[in-house]
């Protein structure tokens, strides 16, 4: 795990950061639908799991900009940017109706990521322990699939004033709309380091990555 410390005086969002980390501590959460029609078709055609393919592309997007890799070190009052962030995915156990966090490492190589993330899931299926270990996984972001519902909105609340900067991502079942398969995706970020533009940018970048992936 490597990171760089951001100089607060030269940080390009200096004024916004000061306001939303001191005067008005809050988050930004947005839900929109992503067209996954071609990614679903690719997954079926290639015999791969749509879920892992989507997780790979999502993680690739979030590693493409420093804005999505930020964190706050309260011990030293520093803003940092990780070199890479990794997804914390989840396995749901039908028999206990509980879930197990799965810490998967991001790799820009699709095949490497796919094989490792799939192995992580299969290993987690063997336990019923919650196993949350965020202290030893500081540069992992939350990536949670709500498989039971194609929802319209979702809010994730954190305590007021808690400067948690890593993205919190949720998505639900895709559903057919006008002949296309549309998936609800919720992106939550802290307003100190992200505004509506940066949150909306996740969707634009994801659309672009899906298009490149299925064409390539």
CA triplet 143, 149, 153: central angle to 5 degrees? 70
For residue 200, CA distances in Å to 57, 68, 79, 83, 181 come to 16, 12, 22, 22, 20
In three-state secondary structure terms, 107 is coil
Here the CATH number for the domain that contains residue 73 is 3.30.559.10
- pLDDT the model gives residue 161: 72
Low-confidence spans in the chain with pLDDT less than 70: 160
- pLDDT the model gives residue 213: 98
- 111 is in which domain, residue-wise? 3-215
Total number of domains in the chain: 1
- Residue identified by tokens 């790799």 is 107
- pLDDT the model gives residue 37: 98
Q: What is the pTM for the complete model shown?
A: 0.96
Element (H, E) at 144: strand 140-146
- Mind listing the pLDDT tens digit for each residue in 107-118? 999 999 999 999
């Amino acid at each position: 795990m490597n990171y760089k410390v951001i100089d607060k005086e030269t940080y390009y969002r200096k004024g916004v950061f000061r306001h939303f980390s001191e005067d008005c501590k809050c988050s930004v959460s947005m839900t929109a639908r992503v067209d996954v029609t071609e990614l679903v078709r690719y997954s079926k055609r290639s015999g791969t799991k749509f879920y892992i393919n989507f997780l790979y592309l999502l993680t690739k997007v979030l590693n493409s900009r420093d804005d999505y890799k930020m964190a706050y070190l309260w011990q030293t009052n520093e803003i940092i940017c990780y070199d890479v962030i990794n997804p914390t995915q989840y396995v749901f156990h039908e028999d206990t109706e509980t879930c197990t966090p799965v810490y998967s490492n991001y790799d820009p190589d699709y095949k490497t990521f796919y094989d490792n993330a799939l192995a992580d899931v299969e290993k987690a299926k063997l336990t019923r322990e919650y196993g949350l270990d965020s202290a030893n996984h500081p540069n992992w972001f939350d990536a949670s699939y709500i498989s039971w519902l194609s929802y319209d909105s979702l809010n994730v609340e954190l305590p007021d004033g808690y400067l948690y900067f890593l993205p919190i991502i949720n998505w639900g079942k895709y559903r057919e709309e006008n002949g296309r398969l549309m998936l609800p995706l919720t992106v939550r970020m802290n307003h100190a380091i992200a505004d509506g533009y940066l949150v909306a940018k996740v969707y634009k970048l994801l659309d672009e990555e899906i298009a490149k992936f299925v064409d390539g």
